[in-house]
């Protein structure tokens, strides 16, 4: 239990440039206990009365980043993801992420049992604050009847897969049933939009020609299957008037569809993920089996897709950039050496989202620092009902990242905190460096070291998404 002294511990961050979605300004930040107590031009007069002064001259002071799409300790047909709530959240902190929303899965037919199960996985392990979405894999009436209780527990967003999850391909019909089940409680439906049946059909032909090349995975997931699924989701929103949120949008054409729907006034929302912005499908054609390190669904696309994604992120057509952290060891990817369809799909990215968005976004004039904060902290918190997170303002949780834009970060398997045997960004040097990370007033990362402990993270019961149907015009 924290002592009274700790509960009112005062920390003053002096002389930094505070970055919010509104802009950048030179300001001091006073933290009292777990909250931000003041943000002002000059809080020097408070300096005599604090427990610690952090000199932030030359540093950017940003809100702790919010990653609303992670898969920790997540089972699959093959191996489980290789970061659990201990290793995965340590790595997240080291990279400036202080809040995650992970995907819990319906378990033994029950959504509530799934939530219980993921609460157990996180308890005693998480280093940072966390919430859960609920993935619905079998929308039975019994399962859907559990939705109101889940919303009461703070699980206010759900996910449906239109492709390859334990063979359960949810078609338009099933999505409509789920949307109907969400109507009353205002839960937000996220969709993995790829046409699963079509992928299986294409993959068969590709495999017959060459089963051993990882690039076969990308060839089996062409842009057309993403676009077809996105169209179905948009149609569904048009028919029902309900909001939908398309996760991990990867292609320019899918963005075009989403932008058109938004212009039409439909409540169609979407995110992209950091790897689609920074890696291309060319990685899958690497010598031998190396390309397997880059297998994810949807697959990496081309350079022109990337430019469209950056532009859409900047303009707001894509609201959020997440990690979709879904790590498998290269040794696990070996499962697909003789058959690319068996390569576990997912990339280790939770630790380097900020580094990569800074290097590939800010230093290359695709995002401003404020836009970075918006898409990776403020908007994910707002979209997913995480009150008190994602902004640097009085009353918010004191989740704060000190970032040195003059520093640099070297990404490699050897130096990363993620529990993975490779890096998808091996040898990449990024401008900028995370200097210190504060979570609810506590310094949890400093001088290159994670200072946190497993179990200090708290479960976040989330409020309803403002994208929920009542609040969308």
Question: Which of the stretches 26-34, 83-91, 317-325, 388-396 binds Mn ion when contact is defined by CB under 5 A?
Answer: 317-325
Between residues 324 and 359, which has the closer beta carbon with respect to Mn ion? 324
Q: In angstroms, what is the minimal distance from the CB of 334 to Mn ion?
A: 22
Per-residue binding letters, 116-155, with Mn ion (x by CB under 5 A): ----------------------------------------
Token look-up 């995907």 returns 103
Q: How many residues bind Mn ion (CB under 5 A)?
A: 2
The interface with Mn ion within residues 215-234 (CB under 5 A) comprises none
Between residues 324 and 399, which has the closer beta carbon with respect to Mn ion? 324
Between residues 192 and 308, which has the closer beta carbon with respect to Mn ion? 192
Q: How many CA atoms lie within 13 A of 471 on its CB side?
A: 11
Q: In angstroms, what is the minimal distance from the CB of 273 to Mn ion?
A: 8
Between residues 27 and 350, which has the closer beta carbon with respect to Mn ion? 350
Q: In angstroms, what is the minimal distance from the CB of 345 to Mn ion?
A: 9
- Residue with the shortest CB distance to Mn ion: 192
Does residue 353 interact with Mn ion by CB under 5 A?
Answer: no
Does residue 192 interact with Mn ion by CB under 5 A?
Answer: yes
Q: In angstroms, what is the minimal distance from the CB of 346 to Mn ion?
A: 7
Between residues 143 and 246, which has the closer beta carbon with respect to Mn ion? 246
Asked if 131 contacts 101 with a C-beta cutoff of 8 angstroms, the reply is yes
Nearest 5°: CA angle at 69, between 363 and 179?
A: 130
Between residues 313 and 350, which has the closer beta carbon with respect to Mn ion? 350
Between residues 192 and 333, which has the closer beta carbon with respect to Mn ion? 192
Between residues 65 and 403, which has the closer beta carbon with respect to Mn ion? 65
Between residues 192 and 352, which has the closer beta carbon with respect to Mn ion? 192
Q: In angstroms, what is the minimal distance from the CB of 217 to Mn ion?
A: 14
Q: In angstroms, what is the minimal distance from the CB of 255 to Mn ion?
A: 17
Between residues 17 and 99, which has the closer beta carbon with respect to Mn ion? 99
What are the angstrom distances between the C-alpha of 360 and each of 23, 91, 357, 369?
20, 20, 5, 12
Q: In angstroms, what is the minimal distance from the CB of 369 to Mn ion?
A: 27
Question: Which of the stretches 118-126, 192-200, 309-317, 449-457 binds Mn ion when contact is defined by CB under 5 A?
Answer: 192-200
Per-residue binding letters, 361-400, with Mn ion (x by CB under 5 A): ----------------------------------------
Between residues 28 and 324, which has the closer beta carbon with respect to Mn ion? 324
Q: In angstroms, what is the minimal distance from the CB of 350 to Mn ion?
A: 12
Closest CA to 376 of 235, 227, 271: 271
Q: In angstroms, what is the minimal distance from the CB of 107 to Mn ion?
A: 17
Distance of alpha carbon 311 from alpha carbon 262, whole angstroms: 15
Write the CB contacts of 5 (distance below 8 Å, at least 6 apart in sequence).
none
Write the CB contacts of 265 (distance below 8 Å, at least 6 apart in sequence).
none
Q: Which of 324, 399, 433, 442 binds Mn ion (CB under 5 A)?
A: 324
Does residue 325 interact with Mn ion by CB under 5 A?
Answer: no
What are the angstrom distances between the C-alpha of 32 and each of 38, 45, 138, 213, 297?
9, 15, 46, 55, 43
Question: Which of the stretches 12-20, 114-122, 136-144, 316-324 binds Mn ion when contact is defined by CB under 5 A?
Answer: 316-324
Question: Which of the stretches 12-20, 126-134, 184-192, 439-447 binds Mn ion when contact is defined by CB under 5 A?
Answer: 184-192
Between residues 161 and 425, which has the closer beta carbon with respect to Mn ion? 161
Q: In angstroms, what is the minimal distance from the CB of 422 to Mn ion?
A: 19
Q: In angstroms, what is the minimal distance from the CB of 165 to Mn ion?
A: 8
Question: Which of the stretches 106-114, 324-332, 337-345, 371-379 binds Mn ion when contact is defined by CB under 5 A?
Answer: 324-332
Q: In angstroms, what is the minimal distance from the CB of 347 to Mn ion?
A: 10
| Interface contacts to Mn ion, rule CB under 5 A | 192, 324
């Amino acid at each position: 239990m924290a002592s009274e002294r700790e509960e009112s511990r005062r920390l003053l961050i002096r002389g930094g440039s505070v970055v919010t979605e509104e802009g950048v300004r030179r300001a001091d930040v006073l933290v009292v206990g777990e909250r931000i107590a003041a943000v002002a031009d000059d809080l020097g007069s408070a300096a005599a009365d604090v427990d610690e002064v952090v000199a932030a001259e030359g540093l950017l002071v940003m809100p702790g980043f919010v990653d609303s799409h992670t898969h920790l300790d997540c089972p699959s047909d093959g191996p489980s993801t290789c970061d659990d709530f201990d290793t995965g959240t340590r790595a997240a902190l080291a990279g400036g992420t202080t809040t995650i929303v992970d995907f819990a899965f319906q378990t033994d037919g029950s959504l509530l049992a799934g939530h219980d199960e993921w609460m157990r996985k996180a308890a005693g392990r998480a280093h940072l604050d966390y919430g859960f979405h609920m993935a619905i894999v079998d929308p039975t009436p019994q399962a859907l009847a559990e939705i109101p209780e889940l919303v009461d527990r703070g699980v206010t967003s759900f996910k449906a897969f239109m492709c390859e999850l334990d063979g359960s391909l949810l078609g338009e019909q099933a999505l409509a049933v789920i949307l109907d089940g969400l109507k009353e409680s205002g839960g937000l439906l996220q969709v993995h939009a790829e046409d699963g049946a079509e992928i299986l059909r294409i993959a068969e032909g590709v495999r017959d020609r060459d089963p051993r090349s990882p690039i076969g995975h990308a060839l089996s997931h062409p842009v057309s299957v993403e676009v077809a699924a996105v169209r179905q989701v948009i149609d569904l929103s048009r028919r029902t008037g309900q909001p939908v949120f398309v996760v991990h949008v990867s292609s320019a054409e899918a963005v075009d569809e989403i932008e058109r729907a938004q212009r039409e006034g439909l409540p169609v929302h979407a995110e992209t993920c950091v790897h689609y912005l920074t890696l291309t499908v060319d990685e899958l054609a690497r010598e031998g089996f190396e390309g397997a390190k880059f297998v994810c669904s949807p697959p990496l696309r081309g350079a022109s897709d990337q430019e469209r994604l950056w532009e859409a992120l900047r303009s707001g057509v894509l609201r959020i950039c997440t990690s979709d952290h879904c790590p498998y060891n290269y040794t696990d990817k070996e499962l697909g050496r003789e058959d690319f369809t068996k390569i576990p799909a997912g990339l280790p990215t939770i630790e380097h989202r900020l580094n990569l968005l800074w290097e590939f976004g800010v230093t290359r004039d695709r995002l401003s620092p404020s836009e970075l904060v918006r898409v990776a902290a403020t908007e994910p918190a707002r979209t997913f009902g995480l009150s008190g997170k994602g902004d640097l303002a009085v009353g918010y949780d004191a989740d704060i990242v000190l970032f040195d834009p003059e520093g640099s970060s070297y990404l490699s398997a050897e130096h990363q905190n993620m529990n993975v045997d490779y890096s998808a960004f091996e040898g990449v040097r990024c401008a900028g460096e995370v200097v210190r990370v504060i979570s609810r007033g506590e310094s949890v990362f400093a001088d290159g070291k994670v200072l946190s402990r497993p179990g200090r993270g708290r479960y976040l019961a989330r409020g309803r998404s403002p994208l929920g149907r009542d609040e969308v015009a």
